[in-house]
Amino acid sequence: MTKNLRLLLSLKNLHISVDGKDVVKGVSLDVAPGEIHAIMGPNGSGKSSFVNTLMGHPKYLVQKGSAEFDGKDLLKLLPSDRAQLGLFLAFQYPKEIAGVTLRSFLFAAYKAQSAAREDLPNIISPIKFKKFLDEKMQALHMDSSFAERFLNKGFSGGEKKKAEVLQMSVLHPRLALMDETDSGLDIDALKIVAEGVNAMRSPSFSAIIVTHYARLLDYVAPDHVHVMVGGRIVESGGMELARALEKDGYARYGQKE
């Protein structure tokens, strides 16, 4: 557990079910401002259920436990309220939205966020936002024409993940939940995603990175690594734990990958 007088996220004994099945079974976790936590584990261990629940997905039900974000009861808030507090979820499988360009989507999202958050500049001019967005895309090695495409429509898997990182860069969440953002990426795309995360690292940005493998963590060094198996965090450590899992897998926990 993190010892900090002002935790950004504090979870205690969180139990989660979906469709009547218990998928997270007593997770406790503290995240301090500026920390990067990685959660690793085999398929079906509850990792994606865990972060989707924190964002407020209605499919997942909290049966027991508590979750506080910046001192507020997270479980009593709507997903939109959680987002306006600075919580962000990068989806494992981003949805396609035809008829809405990436630029217009981000402009609407940014206006909603900046109206609720004092830490974001209030950019209400479309012209100023275009310049702001172009700078963010340039930093992520993305062509500006990418912003004129419909959101995720016809995007490759790598393009969808880059679009998620662009959204994260623009909205600058206080806590980013990254659900296997590295899955399906080639090495070049993986490096771009890592560069985007590393560029945001500061006392005002924290992240929980959900991943199967340590390769993303080779580029984004986490402060803490946790192993989730069977809906529980069974071990925590540093980067050495991630490297041991990369080498030996999850057999030490009685699991097969």
pLDDT at 4 over 50: no
**What is the value of pTM for the model shown?**
0.92
Pairing outcome for strands 175-179 and 87-90: parallel
Q: Could you identify the residue written with the tokens 């984004």?
A: 220
Per-residue pLDDT, 257: 54
**Strand 97-101, strand 87-90: pairing:** unpaired
pLDDT tens column, 223-239: 999 999 999 999 999 99
Mean pLDDT of 17-44: 96
Can you give the pLDDT at residue 256?
A: 61
The rounded distance, in Å, linking the Cα atoms of 214 and 201 is 19
Domains of the chain (ranges; CATH) run: 9-253 (3.40.50.300)
- Mean pLDDT of all residues in 75-85: 95
**% of residues, the chain, pLDDT over 90:** 69
pLDDT digits 0-9 by tens, 110-160: 999 988 888 888 888 999 999 999 999 998 888 899 999 999 999 988 888
pLDDT at 9 over 90: yes
Average pLDDT over residues 48-65: 96
Secondary structure (3-state) at 141: coil
Q: How confident is the model at residue 213 (pLDDT cuts 50, 70, 90)?
A: confident
User: Which is more confident, 179 or 214?
Assistant: 179
Q: What is the mean pLDDT of residues 47-62?
A: 96
Break the chain down into helix, strand, coil percent, rounded to 5: 40, 30, 35
Cα maximum dimension of the chain: 56
Residue 129: which residues within 8 A CB-CB, separation 6 or more? 106, 107, 110, 123
